[in-house]
Structures are given as structure tokens and as C-alpha cells.
Chains A and B, each alone.
Chain A
Amino acid sequence: MSELMLPRRQLIARASGLVAAAGTMPLLAGCDAINDAPVVRKILSMGEEMNRASQRALIDRGALAREFSRADLSPVFRSNGTKLPPGAAYAAHVATGFADWRVKVTGLVARPLSLSMADIRAMPQRTQITRHDCVEGWSAIGQWTGPQLGSILAAAGVRDSARYVIFRCADRIGDDLYYESCDMVDALHPQTIMAWALNDALLPIANGAPLRLRIERQLGYKHAKYVQGIEVVASLDRIGAGKGGYWEDRIDYEWYAGI
């Protein structure tokens, strides 16, 4: 498996590489200065806006991601990002089989909810075999089961001013909790479910136990794992750094990840 890993070990630089590197250094530094210039960042962000606007115009609100058959399942469904959320609180939930896990539905709702995993499993369920596409480029096909986010939101009674749904997660990366968000089009899409089962088994810890989002027309980092909170808001401005997600805030991933 060594070829699968990307070791960051810094070994002694090869002399030939050093010479070549020294020659190209000013040119490369110039390229990166362009990449980091504020006006360039602004122009680059136009691409995301064009992609979002054109995909929203082109893709029917209810258009479904392809659903596959059991024969198409990936033999192994790989995980990415957090494999095991750190901290005693999550460990305690693991020890009790998530019996005390609560998903709080808050924000612009008529009836804030605090759902147990039993509550979530008692709701009408949807099972779908879909392809998970990581922003890095790989894909895996898995079967997911859980209630539609739309049913949870309907139970809570979403107010008219609602524009976005925030997903609050239990996994901490560095000092901050992971979070993600989507607009109401994706929140109410029939394939947007809160999944607690993968391939007919309880969701493994590495894949987000006990509950994760499936938002099938977007890339993997939007599919928040270890979800503890579903918050309905009118604006993303005051959430995190305001860009709508953990990676969006930190390394400038696109908020709209349909491509």
C-alpha cells in the first residue's frame, strides 16, 4: 500500500534537483504571486459563481443522481477526512452505541427538535445506492439508508425566511468543529438523506457514525459526517468565517460543489 500513501518525509535533496529548482525559482515565485493576488482571487471565484448559476439553471430541481444496483457496489467503501473524531465525548457515544446521541434541529423552525437515533430510524426511510465523488478525484459506490432531510425539516416546520441549512458535526479538526451547509434546493431534494446505514450495516465510525448527510449532486466534502446539529438560517455570513463550510473557510474550496 506504500504507493497509496503520500509521505511528507523530507529527505536530503538531490543535487541535480536543487540546481534545476534554483533556475526556475523566480519564475515559479512569479506564478504564485499571481495566484495569491486579491484581484486574481476575485476573478477565480467568478468560475464558481458561473458553475453554480449554470448548473442551477440547467439541472432540474428534482433531477436525481444516478442510482445503481447492488452489483455495482464498491467492494470496499473507503473513508476520508476524519476517521475517528477525537475526544472523550465521542468515545463515550461509541461506548454506548450512540444511545444518547442527539441531533438538534434549530434556527428558523417553528418547532425545534432534539432527535435520538431511535427517532430518526422511526421516520420514513429512503435507501439509495449512489456514487460518492471525492473532490480529490476518486469515487466509491455505496448503499445508504436514512430519512429524507426534507421530512426532518417538515417535522420542525421551516420558516419562510429560511435560505440555508447548516450541518454541525462532532469531529474537530485542529481547534474547530467541522460544519457544512447547503441551500434549500439541495436540502429538500428527494435524495438528500440523513444516513445511518451503509451497505445494510450501521454506519461505520470512519464514514460518519452515527449519522451523516448524503447530498448526492455534490462532492464528498459537502457530505457532513458525525452530524449533531441541523440549523436552518437565512444567511451564511455569521457562520464560521462566512463561506459556508469548514474547508470553504480555510482553504477556499468552492461552497457550490456540483462540479
Chain B
Amino acid sequence: MAEAEPPPVAPSSPVPGERVYRHRLPVRIWHWVNAVTLLILLMSGLMIFNAHPRLYWGEYGANPDYAWLAIGSGPDMGFLRIGDTRIETTGVLGRWTDAAGEEQTWAFPGWATIPTSYSLADGRRWHLLFAWVLSIGLTLYMLWTLFGGHLKKDLHVRRAEWSPRHIWHDIKEHARLRFPKGEAAARYGILQKLSYIGVIFVALPLMIATGLTMSPGMNAAWPWLLDLFGGRQSARSIHFITAWALVLFFLVHIAMVLLAGPVNELRSMVTGWFRLPPEKGEGA
């Protein structure tokens, strides 16, 4: 892989408008492999969920037991029930119209699942193959992050950044859609650092661990997984909740990319090179 060596970082601040090398190759490769992998895992996961659209806490849970979350259908309507709250979701969840114009009563609609029409077998095959891509990729990326300098160089939260004032300031700036300009834009902000650390070291490992906890084979090998998550059905619930936390991360991530300048952001995640946004008053 021919890779232009990044220029040595000048101790002086880069000039706004200048191009800086922001994302190293492992970041870019993992980012795009993961983008595809997580999309496939989500959509095939929703297919698997469709086979039994009910979630429980504890070791067991089946139709006669209380489900804390259920997606279902009544006559002429679909619904999502969480606890005692029932929301009508006709057209999206529980009752929707497929591409052939026929009404279906599976939980998640065909446009959100792999494959588009019900097949638990195929959903599982996609899910359980791409789970390997995620696991191997994440393991390598974690090692590179910890030992390849990514943590130290990009993700390490400096002491000053931990101050509540600094964090609150960053939250306010984001809420006002005021993003770092000039040299500061080349580095991750505190909220970025915390979200990336959360995804790499909390959410994705949690997805893999709860996924393995649902495996009867792995339960025999590593029974402590059941104790860690409070049982197989609890693990299934945590798997589902964490998947949606990752969807939320994705939505915020996309919103930030769009607001911060999609062309520049996209280019930097493809080529590594990022053009520093000009300081205020220098024109856009």
C-alpha cells in the first residue's frame, strides 16, 4: 500500500486554509470497513429480531413470559410496546406494506432488513459472518489504538479537557453549531474523543460480548458471560439496546459531518488530508 508519509508536524500552528494530514491509513480503512459491516450487522440483526420481536430480562423468556419490549400487530395496525406504553407504528413497525404492495406483519419493514423478505436463516448467515469482520477488525484496531499511537496522539483526553467547564463549553459550542476553526479543527474535541472511545472500547465490545452470550456453545465454554450480563435474555436485550445506541451515534456523526463541511470531512476520511476551516471573518 503506497502511502505518502505525512509531513512532520510543525511545532508552529498550521495556517487556516492549509491542508493537514488528519487521518492515518488504519483509521480510514477501519472506518469504511466498519461502515459497511455495521450496516449489514444492523439490517441482518433486525431480520433476526423479526423472528421473535420480544425482549426479556433474565435467563429465560418466551411468549408466555412478560416482555419489556414487544413489536406486534393488532387488527389493521402495528405497534411498539415498551413496558406499559403502547405506541401505534402502523406503516413502519408491526404492520407495513412490502415492495410488492402486500401488507406484512413482521416487526421491522423489508427496507430495513437483510434480506428484504423474511428469512431468519439468511439473516443469521449475514449476521454471523460479518460478526467475524467486526470482531477481527475491532481487535486489530484496538491494538493499533493502544500500541500504535492513535490513543496517545488523537484520543487521549488531556487533563485540562476533563474539566467540567471545558466539557460544558464544548457542548454549548456544538449546540450552537459552532465548530472549531483553524488549527483546532485538526484535532478531536473532547466530545469527539469521548464518543470515539465509547464506541471503540465500550459499545462495540459490548455488542460482541452480548452476541457471544446468546450462543449456547459459548455458554458452555465461558459460563461467566451469563453471570456478567444476567442471563441469555438480558444479553439479548442489551445487544438490542446497544445496537440502537450505535445507530444514535451514527445519526449524530452524520449530522456533524454535514454541518462541519461534508466534502472536506469526507475527503479527509478517504485521502487523509483535511483542509483547515478558515478562522471567523476570513470568509468561507
Partner of A74, one of B62, B114, B216, B217: B62
Q: Give 1 or 0 for each of A132-144: 1 = CB within 8 Å of chain B CB.
A: 0111111111000
Given contacts A47-B132, A131-B232, A258-B216, contact A78 B64 (CB under 8 A): yes
B52 touches A32 (CB 8 A): no
B121 touches A251 (CB 8 A): yes
Distance A35 CA – B218 CA, assembled complex (angstroms) = 28
Q: Is residue B194 within 8 Å, beta carbon to beta carbon, of the partner chain?
A: no
Given contacts A78-B64, A131-B60, A258-B216, contact A31 B114 (CB under 8 A): yes
Partner of A65, one of B75, B91, B106, B216: B216
B216 touches A219 (CB 8 A): yes
A58 touches B121 (CB 8 A): no
Residue of B with least CB distance to A18:
B101
Given contacts A2-B74, A64-B220, A258-B215, contact A44 B129 (CB under 8 A): yes
Indicate the member of A35, A140, A247 with the most B CB atoms within 10 Å. Answer: A35
A137 touches B49 (CB 8 A): yes
Q: Which of A8-16, A84-92, A161-169, A225-233 contacts B (4 or more CB under 8 A)?
A: A8-16
B114 touches A35 (CB 8 A): yes
Partner of B103, one of A4, A10, A43: A10
Q: Is residue A29 within 8 Å, beta carbon to beta carbon, of the partner chain?
A: yes
CB proximity of A230 to chain B, nearest CB, Å = 22
Indicate the member of B70, B74, B99 with the most A CB atoms within 10 Å. Answer: B99
Specify which chain B residues have a CB less than 8 angstroms from the CB of A74 in the assembled complex.
Answer: 60, 62, 64-65
Q: Is residue B73 within 8 Å, beta carbon to beta carbon, of the partner chain?
A: yes
Docked complex: B221-267 residues within 8 A CB-CB of A: 221, 223, 226, 232-233, 236
Residue of B with least CB distance to A219:
B216
Q: Is residue B59 within 8 Å, beta carbon to beta carbon, of the partner chain?
A: yes
Q: Is residue A184 within 8 Å, beta carbon to beta carbon, of the partner chain?
A: no
B102 touches A253 (CB 8 A): no
Distance A13 CA – B218 CA, assembled complex (angstroms) = 44
A2 touches B72 (CB 8 A): yes
A4 touches B216 (CB 8 A): no
Q: Give 1 or 0 for each of A57-74: 1 = CB within 8 Å of chain B CB.
A: 011100111101000101
Q: Which of A48-56, A98-106, A192-200 contacts B (4 or more CB under 8 A)?
A: A48-56
Q: Give 1 or 0 for each of B101-130: 1 = CB within 8 Å of chain A CB.
A: 111011000110011110111101110111
Partner of B73, one of A3, A16, A44, A47: A3
Indicate the member of A17, A28, A59, A78 with the most B CB atoms within 10 Å. Answer: A17
Q: Give 1 or 0 for each of B17-54: 1 = CB within 8 Å of chain A CB.
A: 00000000000000000000000000000001101101
Indicate the member of B116, B117, B120, B130 with the most A CB atoms within 10 Å. Answer: B116
Distance A85 CA – B111 CA, assembled complex (angstroms) = 37
Q: Is residue B192 within 8 Å, beta carbon to beta carbon, of the partner chain?
A: no
Q: Give 1 or 0 for each of B169-199: 1 = CB within 8 Å of chain A CB.
A: 0000000000000000000000000000000
Given contacts A65-B216, A133-B232, A218-B216, contact A140 B117 (CB under 8 A): no
CB proximity of B170 to chain A, nearest CB, Å = 38
Specify which chain A residues have a CB less than 8 angstroms from the CB of B90 in the assembled complex.
Answer: 14
Distance A16 CA – B92 CA, assembled complex (angstroms) = 11
B62 touches A139 (CB 8 A): yes
Specify which chain A residues have a CB less than 8 angstroms from the CB of B63 in the assembled complex.
Answer: 1, 4, 78, 138
Q: Is residue A124 within 8 Å, beta carbon to beta carbon, of the partner chain?
A: no
Partner of A47, one of B70, B129, B212, B216: B129
Residue of A with least CB distance to B74:
A2
Distance A95 CA – B121 CA, assembled complex (angstroms) = 37
Partner of B116, one of A16, A17, A32, A58: A32
Distance A16 CA – B96 CA, assembled complex (angstroms) = 10
Given contacts A74-B60, A139-B232, contact A10 B128 (CB under 8 A): no
Q: Is residue B89 within 8 Å, beta carbon to beta carbon, of the partner chain?
A: no
Given contacts A2-B74, A76-B64, contact A217 B121 (CB under 8 A): no
Q: Is residue B81 within 8 Å, beta carbon to beta carbon, of the partner chain?
A: yes
Distance A10 CA – B100 CA, assembled complex (angstroms) = 12
Given contacts A32-B115, A35-B122, contact A60 B59 (CB under 8 A): no
Specify which chain B residues have a CB less than 8 angstroms from the CB of A39 in the assembled complex.
Answer: none
Further contacts, 13 of them, CB under 8 A, given A66-B223, A217-B220:
A16-B91, A17-B91, A44-B129, A48-B128, A55-B218, A66-B219, A66-B220, A76-B64, A135-B51, A139-B59, A140-B62, A254-B121, A259-B218
What are 27 A-B interface contacts by the 8 Å CB criterion? A2-B72, A6-B73, A12-B103, A17-B96, A20-B97, A21-B97, A21-B99, A21-B100, A31-B115, A44-B125, A47-B128, A55-B218, A55-B221, A63-B221, A72-B60, A74-B64, A75-B64, A131-B59, A133-B216, A137-B49, A138-B63, A139-B62, A139-B233, A217-B216, A253-B121, A258-B217, A259-B214
